[in-house]
Amino acid sequence: MKKETHKSRLLKYLQEYKSITSLEAIRDLGNTRLSASIFLLKADGVKINTENARVATRWTNKDGSKKMTNVAKYVLC
């Protein structure tokens, strides 16, 4: 049986959920170097697009609403 790697776990994740962000990679896969794993999958010929996703941060504005930021979202084609 082949040993699972960040790359193989990431590919399985993308096949199931179709996309991933860095926070999801850390939380769900324990992968703190998502962009490196994406790079390796792309080098193997896997078609992955990078999109911008707007997400809430842990900080709030004066009115109590969450501050927002943009992160990379990788989407399996």
> 38 in a domain, yes or no?
yes
**The predicted structure's pLDDT at residue 3:** 86
pLDDT digits (tens, 9 = 90+) for 23-34: 999 999 999 999
> 39 in a domain, yes or no?
yes
> 58 in a domain, yes or no?
yes
Share of the chain above pLDDT 70, in %: 99
**The predicted structure's pLDDT at residue 2:** 76
Q: Which of these, 77, 3, 6, lies nearest to 36 by C-alpha position?
A: 6
> 33 in a domain, yes or no?
yes
> 49 in a domain, yes or no?
yes
> How far is residue 38's CA from residue 7's CA, in Å, rounded to a whole number?
8
Q: Which of these, 69, 71, 56, 2, lies nearest to 11 by C-alpha position?
A: 2
Helix (H, G, I), strand (E, B), or coil: what is residue 66?
Answer: strand
The model's pTM: 0.86
Domain boundaries, position 38: 6-76
Tokens representing 1 are 């049986």
| Domain count within the chain | 1
**The predicted structure's pLDDT at residue 1:** 64
pLDDT digits (tens, 9 = 90+) for 43-59: 999 999 999 999 999 99
> 1 in a domain, yes or no?
no
